[in-house]
């Protein structure tokens, strides 16, 4: 009775928006999978991490900081990292905001700009937090579907944007699909956005896509625009700093950054992350090596899976979106027993799809072999 009463009391205290929020699925925990299935090794392909891990220069920066100690609070402004990013992009430092991962900035944007009943437009399928954060603020989320061939439906976007809209979330390349808007498509969507909405373009997988001639650099597309916008990038993917949690945003106007600073916690990016990110920016060899691995293995995996009859979206990111044609949650469970962790996509309309990260050749082979075993009747 005590537990039941306590739970009821908490339920009454909850904001209605929070009580009804969908849960974000981070994927299966490797240690739990090892124990539950009695396995000796795990291939983790669920979170789009860099299989090469951290840059040697970033590791060196961490060691140097550890030697100096961690007894002081981090630089609340992240001046060194903002300075390095400003120099890299050729912009004023004041237009940059740092986050505890780029999703921290997504959350700040929703907390700062959304009121109950505001409209948010994004794509479908989408990164779960594009929906969770707006719903947390009482906003409404409208999703624009892709075409059957996983391409941008510009007409559907224009129709969705022909209404009062506060925020627009676009991931390019798309998470979880991996496809990207072309320059023409992106420009058409930007033109269709209401002048008084904030356009948010999430380029978490930018480094994997930028060498493709069809991929538009959002900063170059948007820089001439007078409208408010912000482009998000992260050090969690190609730069291999996922566990340190550091991302950044580049805003069209300093006023956007100033508004976000009013909401963010003062020390949201720790000192290890700040200094490792500065060092990672300088390690072009590690970045190029990481991108080259993904490019080569992504092509091999896509070709192999398609040859085996799977429908696979053409990805410019470090993951593949694969139609298994059966209940994806059952596929994921079967792969767990084989020691392979991928994500089932539970968004309505995509219940047969899994998302699998592109990893080292040996790990990719284990994934392919496991997929063949579970799909082949005993």
Which CATH number is 104's domain given?
Answer: 3.40.640.10
User: pLDDT tens digit string along 91-148?
Assistant: 999 999 999 999 999 999 999 999 999 999 999 999 999 999 999 999 999 999 999 9
User: pLDDT tens digit string along 208-219?
Assistant: 999 999 999 999
Q: Are residues 210 and 248 in the same domain?
A: yes
Q: Are residues 276 and 289 in the same domain?
A: no
Which CATH number is 348's domain given?
Answer: 3.90.1150.10
Last residue of a domain, one of 266, 282, 298: 282
Range of the domain at 244: 56-282
Report CA Rg, the chain: 21
pLDDT at 132: 97
Q: Are residues 217 and 355 in the same domain?
A: no
| Total domain count, the chain | 2
Q: Give the relative orientation of helices 361-375 and 328-337 as an angle to the nearest 10 degrees.
A: 120
Specify which residues 170 forms β-bridges with: 201
Q: What is the dihedral of CA 221, 224, 226, 228, to 10 degrees?
A: 40
Is 33 within the bounds of a domain?
Answer: yes
* Neighbouring C-beta atoms of residue 12, cutoff 10 Å: 8
Q: Are residues 28 and 118 in the same domain?
A: no
Q: Are residues 197 and 228 in the same domain?
A: yes
Is 111 within the bounds of a domain?
Answer: yes
Q: Are residues 72 and 202 in the same domain?
A: yes
Contact (CB, 8 A) for 183 and 177: no
Q: What is the mean pLDDT of each run of 10 residues along the chain (378 residues)?
A: 62 87 89 93 97 97 97 97 98 98 98 98 96 97 95 96 97 97 96 96 98 95 92 98 98 98 97 98 98 98 97 98 96 97 94 98 98 75
Is 2 within the bounds of a domain?
Answer: no
Contact (CB, 8 A) for 198 and 169: no
Is 154 within the bounds of a domain?
Answer: yes
Strands (E), 176-261: 198-202, 229-234, 247-251
pTM: 0.94
pLDDT at 276: 98
Last residue of a domain, one of 282, 301, 317: 282
Cα separation, 161 vs 166, in Å, equals: 10
């Amino acid at each position: 009775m005590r537990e039941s009463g306590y739970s009821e009391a908490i339920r009454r205290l909850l904001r209605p928006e929070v009580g009804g929020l969908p849960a974000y699925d981070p994927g299966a925990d490797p240690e739990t999978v090892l124990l539950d299935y009695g396995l000796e090794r795990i291939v983790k392909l669920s979170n789009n991490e860099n299989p090469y891990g951290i840059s040697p220069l970033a590791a060196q920066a961490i060691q140097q900081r550890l030697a100096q100690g961690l007894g002081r609070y981090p630089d609340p402004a992240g001046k060194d990292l903002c300075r390095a990013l400003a120099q890299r992009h050729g912009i004023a430092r004041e237009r940059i905001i740092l986050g505890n991962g780029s999703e921290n900035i997504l959350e700040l944007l929703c907390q700062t700009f959304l009121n109950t009943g505001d409209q948010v437009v994004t794509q479908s399928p989408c990164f779960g937090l594009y929906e969770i954060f707006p719903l947390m603020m009482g906003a409404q989320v409208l999703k624009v579907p892709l075409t059957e061939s996983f391409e941008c439906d510009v007409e559907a976007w224009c129709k969705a944007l022909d209404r009062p809209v506060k925020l627009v979330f676009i991931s390019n390349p798309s998470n979880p699909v991996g496809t990207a808007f072309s320059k023409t498509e992106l420009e058409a969507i930007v033109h269709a956005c209401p002048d008084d909405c904030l356009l948010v373009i999430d380029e978490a997988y930018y480094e994997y896509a930028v060498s493709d001639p069809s991929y538009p650099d959002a900063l170059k597309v948007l820089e001439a625009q007078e409208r408010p916008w912000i482009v998000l990038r992260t050090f969690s993917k190609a730069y291999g700093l996922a566990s340190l949690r550091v991302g950044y945003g580049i805003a069209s106007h300093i006023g956007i950054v100033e508004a976000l600073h009013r909401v963010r916690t003062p020390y949201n990016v720790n000192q290890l992350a700040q200094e490792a990110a500065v060092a990672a920016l300088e390690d072009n060899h590690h970045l190029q090596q990481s991108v080259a691995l993904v490019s080569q293995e992504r092509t091999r995996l896509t070709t192999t899976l398609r040859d085996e009859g799977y429908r696979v979206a053409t990805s410019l990111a470090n993951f593949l979106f694969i139609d298994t044609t059966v209940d994806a949650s059952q596929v994921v469970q079967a792969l767990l027993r084989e020691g392979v962790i991928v994500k089932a996509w539970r968004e309505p309309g995509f219940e047969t799809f899994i998302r699998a990260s592109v990893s080292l050749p040996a790990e990719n082979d284990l994934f392919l072999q496991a997929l063949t075993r579970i799909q082949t009747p005993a």
